[in-house]
Amino acid sequence: MFKKLFYSNTRKPKGFLGNIMINKMNIGHAKLSDWGLSHLKSVSPVSIADLGCGGGINVAKLIKLFPGAKVTGFDYSSVSVKKSKEENKEAIQAGICNIVQGDVSNMPFENEQFDLLTTFETIYFWPGPLTSFKEVFRVLKPGGTFMVVNEFDGISEREKKYEKIIDGLKLYSNQELMNYLKQVGFTGIMLFHDEQKHWITVIAKK
């Protein structure tokens, strides 16, 4: 019963168990996010948003990685938004960070607002995903970069069991993911795949 309740908080953390889940993800996904961020070597963004920011750890990493850029954390969980604000309190006070609550399929941002959008371990839960990817494309500046970092590549049989125990989880193969991105207009799509760990990073350009 506890396991079921715990995994029900993966998609949208809430309450006591949601706080536990966020702390667990902050720790458990640290190496994955570092690996993903290591592929952002040729970009110099000034306006960044991390979509599905969770506990705000990756927002903090982006602030450190791109000094001078303004970083927005975006999540539809009020628990995640609160945790992200706590994690990035000093950056928010300095005016270089903002944390916003909302749905990725209908974001409260202007057209072509950001030149870098990132998402770590979240697209499994996005509505669509074409609807959400169209929104990403809308708020990204021409020439901007969208980076997806996933722990699951949709290949391992071990991963597929999680679709049954985690509410709303939908796994995508590498090819499916790249096809969706192409359908909404992204180009220059690059895939980085750790076949042993089944990690993937996909970088796409508008």
Domain residue extents for the chain: 2-205
Three-state SS annotation for 5-69? HHHCCCCCCCHHHHHHHHHHHHHHCHHHHHHHHCCCCCCCCCEEEEECCCCCHHHHHHHHHCCCC
Q: What is the pLDDT of residue 167?
A: 74
Tell me what pLDDT residue 120 has. Answer: 96
pLDDT recorded at residue 65: 96
Q: Which amino acid is at 191?
A: L
Strand partners of residue 120: 149
What is the four-CA torsion angle of 107, 185, 29, 161, rounded to 10 degrees?
A: 100
The pLDDT score that the predictor gives to residue 199 is 92
pLDDT of res. 6: 44
- Per-residue CA distances from 156 to 116, 125, 172 (Å): 30, 19, 11
Overall fold of domain 2-205? Rossmann fold (3.40.50)
Residues of the chain with pLDDT under 50: 1-6, 9, 11, 16-18, 20, 28
Q: The whole model's pTM is what?
A: 0.87
- Given a contact cutoff of 8 angstroms between Cβ atoms, the answer to whether 202 and 190 are in contact is yes
Q: What is the CA radius of gyration of the chain?
A: 16
**3-class state of residue 98 by DSSP:** strand
Determine the pLDDT at residue 1. Answer: 39
**Phi and psi angles of residue 23, each rounded to the nearest 5 degrees, phi first:** -60, -40
By CB neighbour count within 10 A (0-12 exposed, 13-18 middle, 19+ buried), where does 104 fall? Answer: buried
pLDDT digit string (tens) for 141-169?
A: 999 999 999 988 887 767 777 777 777 78
Check residue 29 and give its pLDDT: 62
Cβ of 91: how many Cβ atoms within 10 Å?
A: 21
> What pLDDT, on the 0 to 100 scale, is given for residue 168?
76
- Give the pLDDT confidence score for residue 26 in this predicted structure: 52
pLDDT of residue 20: 47
Nearest to 20 by CA among 165, 28, 126: 28
